[in-house]
Structure 1
Amino acid sequence: MRRTGLALTVLLAVAAWVGCSAPRSEVKPGETKGASGKFEVRVGANFELSGAIAQWGKESKEGIDLAVEEINADPANPFRLAVIFEDNASEDAKSKAAATKLIHQERVHVIVGSVASNKTLAAMSVAQEARIPLVTAHSTNVNITRKSGEYVFRTCFNDEFQGPFMAKFALEDLKAKTAVLIVQKGNAYSEGLVASFEKTFVEGGGKVLAVEAYYQNETDFQTMAVKIKSANPDCVWLPGYYHEVALIVKQVRAQGFEKPFLGTDGWDHQDLYKLGGPAVKDNFFCNHFSSADSSPKVQALVRKYEAKYGRKPGAMVALGYEVMYVVADAARRAGSADPKALRDALATVKNLETVCGTITMTPEREVSKPAVLLKTGETDHLFVKRQ
């Protein structure tokens, strides 16, 4: 009896080892899989589904789910997308752990995510070492593509686009000659955007009066507010996340400062208005997407999203939606779920029409695409222009 039990234990252990070490289910060009006759592409989604920026992760998931539903319903596609979500809890270490699990346990062929740059920076080395393509649709820090490798891609514009875009707007449209910059220390997103804005603003003849700093989870910005009121710049550059932006703007406005604040895609959330109230009105930020854009693709997404979720989609939804169509385009042209074939197809995306504009992948694994300029209204963003 004991010998039989030992033999059974050995057999189970061997079976488990075989299962864990089995090769990733790759399908060569021309082959099919399953009753549908389509090959399966396993997509790992590494997102902030809990923690500090869970709302953005959840909205990204909604966009991904909607796109996958459409893509899998298209009979012309020779593949089926199977998405496996992992929650990184808005923490760097957990983002790296999520990527590791998706690659080595879930055996995915490609990873999408995360939202925050710090989370993508933490995970990208795992994907590069395993030679699994990673595509971030939301993270804008320039080092994501510069310090990774050939398996890491980005489908949104980066900080070296957003910063200069808004610096030129300040100089040319607002005729600003002076600015105060506000940075969140230790946040790669904020630090990169402050650097790129400052460079373009100064080169264009502007003068930076001061750089004010804060740290994550701070809520008292009274000292900063007094300094900004005293400096009286023509504009304030504030590339942060909406919940912090709302508090900062509200407290600075309370000091009597009335000049415009300028920001980036991190402002994009309805809670900006709930938290900031009337203080956030009449400021400007650039974004990837606007539901007020008259583009037919944009309005088609707005109708479908509103019908399913009862509200208009924001940029996080649109970027999640868009990246799945980029993955689908790569899978279609690769004709395979092989990670190397998918990587090569991602590297050659060209003139792909999406809800956020026309995408062409550059040799640096970045995309060339337009931005949207928005103005903050009383309760929502107002579309100004796309360029």
Structure 2
Amino acid sequence: MRKQLKKFAQFTALSSLLVLSACGGNQAAGDEEGKSSGGAVKADIGVISYISGPGAAYGEAITNGLKLAQEEINGKGEVEINLVIEDSAGKQDQALTAAQKLMNSENVTGIIGPTLSTEMNVVGPEADLNGVPIMGTSTTAEGIPQIGDYVFRNSLPEALAIPAAIDKAIEKYDAKKVAILYGNDDVFTKSGFDTMKKAAEEKGLEILTTETFQKGQSDYNAQLTKIKGLKPDLILASALYNEGAVIMDQARKMGIDVPFVGGNGFNSPEVINIAGDAANGLIVATPWYGEKEDDKVKEFVSKYEKEYGKKPDQFAAQAYDALYIMAEALTNAGEADRDALRDALAEIKGFNGILGEFSFDEEGDVVMDPTVLVIEGGAFKEFN
């Protein structure tokens, strides 16, 4: 019924007219019924990524992971994917403009991205209204797949990751008291705070103080001085890697040596690159661990390092698996059609990728188990 109403909205909304013309002939360019001359399903997949600006390391990793997967997938011959990449610069308006451009292309069958939950909150409803399947690879805030029937994600939501990390930290350090620090001007970091607060309360932790900051802030002396005086056992911090790394560096210089439990935005090698030894003691939960004894993981890490000269992070790994999930759905759909791709994505169960065994639930959200990591000696390690 919901899909029928959506179709009706497409015919009555002026903003959807260009998209409707696309849906009438929704094949990849050049070949009848979205098939290549060799019989493979041929599709353009749009990508909205944070390529320029202060969070560009996220977008770089994501696009690198996608390109590596694209080369492998196309080499196998069952699916031929062309990536159409647009830069959002981490901005809602730019992400929406990029999405509209992609959706108005008759060749784009589905979209991967955008990078931030803040961006998905404006792009997701538009994609859902226009019947374009979209999959976030790094959008972990609460409520993303619930935006609509065409909205998916393969990124581990913070509602699963943060409680798992807190549980391990409580067990390891017998923690009883915590301080919370979060960015209050970003949907993603605010959502992380909500999850942290809820998890802390459910686990019976005493919240000594809740401190806030803004994106781009450079001085955290006031917040950290207050936290230091209260002597928490743990600091729960919901931050993107730029602010998170600076917070940890300033905290360590002030003599705060307690462990930090971070949200997903904190989970990047850039934290180590920026903060150095000050990053030691950061605990995060993730579906990705590059040192895992698994042949698929080892092969991916080796190929990625050879191609890009660095180790892949969580964002590269999630993007890599996302394109493979798209490819499997396209194969199962048998054509480059938006509705068929959406339905095939919804049926993905037991997909074995480099992140582990993955399925979508009935809302298009993630079903999988997280791994808890800690930074020790300048590297992420399993937290036991």
Structure 2 CA distance, aligned partners of 1:65 and 1:156?
18
Corresponding residue SS for 2:208: strand
TM-score, normalised with respect to structure 1:
0.89
Contact persistence 2:375–2:381 (CA under 8 A): yes
Structure 1 CA distance, aligned partners of 2:377 and 2:246?
16
Contact persistence 1:162–1:193 (CA under 8 A): no
Aligned-pair CA distance for 1:204: 1.7
Contact persistence 1:181–1:212 (CA under 8 A): yes
User: 1:101 aligned to 2:101?
Assistant: yes
Which residue does 1:65 correspond to in 2?
A: 67
| Amino acid across the alignment from 1:120 | M
Contact persistence 2:162–2:285 (CA under 8 A): no
CA deviations 1:76-100 (Å, max 9, x no partner) are x1x3111100111111111011100
User: 1:314 aligned to 2:313?
Assistant: yes
Which residue does 2:52 correspond to in 1?
A: 50
Corresponding residue SS for 2:312: coil
Which residue does 1:344 correspond to in 2?
A: 343
Which residue does 2:361 correspond to in 1?
A: 362
Corresponding residue SS for 1:84: strand
Structure 1 CA distance, aligned partners of 2:173 and 2:188?
24
User: 1:238 aligned to 2:237?
Assistant: yes
Aligned-pair CA distance for 1:286: 1.6
Which residue does 2:137 correspond to in 1?
A: 137
Contact persistence 1:42–1:82 (CA under 8 A): yes
Aligned-pair CA distance for 1:376: 0.9
TM-score, normalised with respect to structure 2:
0.90
Structure 2 CA distance, aligned partners of 1:253 and 1:327?
43
| Amino acid across the alignment from 1:26 | Q
Structure 1 CA distance, aligned partners of 2:237 and 2:48?
27
Aligned-pair CA distance for 1:32: 5.9
Which is worse superposed, 45-54 or 30-39? Answer: 30-39
| Amino acid across the alignment from 1:286 | A
Aligned-pair CA distance for 1:243: 1.5
Gaps of 5+ in 1: 1-16
Which residue does 2:266 correspond to in 1?
A: 267
Which structure has the bigger radius of gyration? 1
Which residue does 1:13 correspond to in 2?
A: none
Structure 2 CA distance, aligned partners of 1:375 and 1:43?
35
Contact persistence 2:221–2:250 (CA under 8 A): yes
User: 1:37 aligned to 2:39?
Assistant: yes
Percent sequence identity over matched residues?
Answer: 27
Which residue does 1:25 correspond to in 2?
A: 26
Structure 2 CA distance, aligned partners of 1:306 and 1:278?
23
Which residue does 2:82 correspond to in 1?
A: 82
Contact persistence 2:272–2:378 (CA under 8 A): yes
Which residue does 2:151 correspond to in 1?
A: 152
Aligned-pair CA distance for 1:312: 1.3
Contact persistence 1:236–1:260 (CA under 8 A): yes
Structure 2 CA distance, aligned partners of 1:24 and 1:226?
61
Structure 2 CA distance, aligned partners of 1:32 and 1:227?
60
Contact persistence 2:45–2:109 (CA under 8 A): yes
CA deviations 1:120-179 (Å, max 9, x no partner) are 112111111110101111100112122x11000111121211222122223223211010
Aligned-pair CA distance for 1:268: 3.0
Structure 1 CA distance, aligned partners of 2:130 and 2:292?
39
Contact persistence 1:137–1:155 (CA under 8 A): yes
Contact persistence 2:25–2:106 (CA under 8 A): no
Which residue does 2:284 correspond to in 1?
A: 285
Structure 2 CA distance, aligned partners of 1:124 and 1:31?
27
Aligned-pair CA distance for 1:288: 2.5
Aligned-pair CA distance for 1:190: 1.3
Which residue does 1:193 correspond to in 2?
A: 192
Corresponding residue SS for 2:196: helix
Contact persistence 1:180–1:237 (CA under 8 A): yes
Which residue does 1:7 correspond to in 2?
A: none
| Amino acid across the alignment from 1:268 | N
TM-align CA RMSD? 2.1
Structure 2 CA distance, aligned partners of 1:145 and 1:356?
19
Aligned-pair CA distance for 1:31: 5.1
Corresponding residue SS for 1:164: helix
Aligned-pair CA distance for 1:311: 1.8
Aligned-pair CA distance for 1:21: 4.6
Which residue does 1:91 correspond to in 2?
A: 91
User: 1:258 aligned to 2:260?
Assistant: no
Contact persistence 1:157–1:367 (CA under 8 A): yes
Structure 1 CA distance, aligned partners of 2:134 and 2:109?
9
Structure 1 CA distance, aligned partners of 2:210 and 2:345?
39
| Amino acid across the alignment from 2:357 | T
Structure 2 CA distance, aligned partners of 1:216 and 1:354?
34
User: 1:116 aligned to 2:107?
Assistant: no
Structure 2 CA distance, aligned partners of 1:68 and 1:165?
32
Corresponding residue SS for 2:238: coil
Structure 1 CA distance, aligned partners of 2:34 and 2:269?
44
| Amino acid across the alignment from 1:293 | K
